[in-house]
Amino acid sequence: MRLVLVLGDQLSADLSALQKADQENDLVVMAEVVAEASYVPHHPKKIAFTFMAMRKFAQSLRDAGWRVAYTALDDPENTGSITGELIRYAAQNDAAGVVYTEPGEWRLIQELADMPLRSHVLPDTRFIASHSDFENWAEGRKQLRMEYFYREMRRKTGLLMDGDKPEGGKWNYDHDNRKPAPDQVDFDGPLRFSPDNAVMDLVAERFSDNFGDLQPFWFAIDSDQANAQLDHWIDAGLPKFGDFQDAMLQDQPFLYHSLISFYLNAGLLDPLDVCQRVEAAYHAGKAPLNAVEGFIRQIIGWREYMRGIYFLEGPAYTARNGLGHERALPDMYWGAPTRMNCVAQAVKQTKEHAYAHHIQRLMVTGNFALLAGIDPAAVHKWYLAVYADAYEWVEAPNVIGMSQFADDGIIASKPYISSGNYIHKMSNYCGSCAYRVQDKTGEKACPFNLLYWHFLDRHRDRFSGNPRMGNMYRVWDRMDAEKRTTVLTEAEAWLTKLDQGDAV
């Protein structure tokens, strides 16, 4: 007999390791271990979600006839690591070896490879592009732009294709998906499910020092519930998803977003099935093309592309720091007071829900970290810890590449930076802020306005030749010299206060 390892983000009945295993003889191993629960200080909701979903999945395997060895976190014999548990169960059962599906993180891939047990590693087939698909696509290209990869994925899956042409004549309807915040949201957010109380008690006892609220817990914890959430959103959220995809509203954390990334990444939902159901809603006339194309692009485009980059670039990717940013992560990211309402809003809902939507991650917390020159490794660890959907294969390229431009432009052709204007246009945050978004200098000047020019000025050598940024430098250069000096002096003073730990 062999052991069959199922990790906490591999909760799919069609996992390659389960497909290859022998139900009669093999023993499935699942383990809640302190090493995985604490290599970053994960949000308590993320830990609770993972353990609850693991326990339910283990039960569903038993119901289907599998033998499952499940180690709970507080099991006295728990060795504390995945490899420790495999070695322990192998000795107890005289196992001939271990079958497992490749993990989504270099750290664990290496740990398992170093384990003194005979192993059979299988590819993770729950993605649309295999490693070799991505490598073949990337081969010989000067730039790895997501848009071209996405078109290949459209052709490969047949999603939104009209023969060999894109549905509606265009590949990408992003242009229609940038409406500012609506006055009211007529979607009541995700379905709310009941937690497993034993796990709630365990996480409350063991992880209460971690940043984040455990209560109220509302996540789906099995695939039936996750599918119910998807159906609910397709009916009520999808039609306006595209229009308001980039919008942000005070005290409205969810808007028209699907809230399925946790379920997709843990294996409770299948990405292709999700996209096919969303496409069916379009063909049934229930949702417009801009919403459906925009959503499908996020999944078969961005999600697959990020994974491709993570595996293509190798384990050193997370240590990249192309812009030489060294500032410590300010305490406001862990909930310390800040006068910047946009940052306070994004952090508050992150603390409450282990969730923030894409534009909050990219254009508020990410944008601020980039403008302020924060060490990308610290930013990466923060995102990995605080979001329930954060696994390194998807989080690291989004943070190191897309958000912090620390990979020197593998993912983004220019840094995602903006002054306060963008946040003002896309949200209603500025109206309740202690700073004034209209002020470019002065006591109440929006810090994003000051830091935007500070960033461009300090990275002039790196970016002034970038064709997509020439305009920004022309505006800066046309500014009165005295005003430029004032902006830079005030930005420096503001950063000094930030470094001193003042509530800026």
- Per-residue contact flags (x/-) with ligand SF4 for residues 445 to 464, judged by CB under 6 A: -xxx----------------
CA atoms within 13 A on the CB side of 123: 10
Nearest to ligand FAD of 146, 430 (CB atom): 146
Which tokens is 454 given? 């500070």
Q: Which residues sit opposite 119 in a β-bridge?
A: 98
Backbone conformation region of residue 373, classed left if phi is above 0, alpha if psi is from -120 to 50, else beta: left
CA distance 41 to 264: 22
Give residues 265-284 in contact with ligand FAD (rule: CB under 6 A). Answer: 265
Whether 486 contacts 441, CB under 8 Å? yes
The maximal CA–CA distance of the chain, rounded, in angstroms, is 79
CA 188 from centre of chain: 23
Query: What is the residue type of 195?
Result: P
Instruction: Name 248's bridge partners.
Output: 427
Sheet of 27-31, strand order: 67-71, 27-31, 3-5, 98-101, 119-122
Return the one option of ligand FAD, ligand SF4, none that residue 446 interacts with (CB less than 5 to 8 A, by type): ligand SF4
Residue among 389, 427, 430, 452 that touches ligand FAD (CB under 6 A): 389
Closest approach of ligand SF4 to the CB of residue 347, in Å: 12
Confirm or reject binding of residue 241 to ligand SF4 (CB under 6 A).
Answer: no
Return the structure tokens found at 53: 């979903």
User: Which listed range, 61-69, 70-78, 404-412, 425-433, lies at the site for ligand SF4 (CB under 6 A)?
Assistant: 425-433
Residue placing its CB nearer to ligand FAD in the complex, 416 or 473: 416
Site string for ligand SF4, 293-332 (x = CB under 6 A): ----------------------------------------
CB-neighbour burial class of residue 260 (10 A; exposed 0-12, middle 13-18, buried 19+):
buried
Which position among 16, 367, 403, 449 is part of the footprint of ligand FAD (CB under 6 A)? 403
The binder of ligand FAD chosen from 54, 128, 390, 430 (CB under 6 A): 390
Least distance in Å: CB of 348 to ligand SF4?
A: 13
CA angle 458, 463, 466 (to 5 degrees): 165
Structure tokens at 300: 């078969």
Which member of 402, 446, 450, 456 binds ligand FAD (CB under 6 A)?
Answer: 402
Q: Of how many residues is the chain composed?
A: 504
Q: 428 contacts which partner out of ligand FAD, ligand SF4, none, CB within 5 to 8 A by kind?
A: none
Cα–Cα distance, 396 to 163 (Å, whole number)? 36
Q: Which of residues 290-309 bind ligand FAD (CB under 6 A)?
A: 295, 298-299, 302-303, 306
- What six digits make up the tokens of 229? 């959430």
* Tokens 């990275």 -> residue: 459
Among 357, 381, 424, 440, binds ligand FAD (CB under 6 A): 357
The partner in contact with residue 308, picked from ligand FAD, ligand SF4, none with C-beta cut-offs of 5 to 8 angstroms by kind, is: none
- Other CB atoms closer than 10 Å to residue 148's CB: what's the count? 14
Partner that binds at residue 433, options ligand FAD, ligand SF4, none, CB closer than 5 to 8 Å by kind: ligand SF4
Interface segment toward ligand FAD; rule CB under 6 A; list 39-47, 161-169, 255-263, 284-292: 255-263
Binding residue for ligand FAD, selected from 71, 345, 398, 427, defined by CB under 6 A: 398
Cα 377 to Cα 206, 322, 351, 439: the distances in Å are 26, 11, 20, 32
| Range 339-378, binding ligand SF4 (CB under 6 A) | 340-342
* DSSP-derived secondary structure letter, 81: S
Q: Contact positions toward ligand FAD, by CB under 6 A?
A: 257-261, 264-265, 295, 298-299, 302-303, 306, 357-358, 361-362, 366, 383, 387, 389-390, 394-395, 398-399, 402-403
Q: Contact positions toward ligand SF4, by CB under 6 A?
A: 340-342, 420, 423-424, 429-430, 433, 435, 437, 446-448
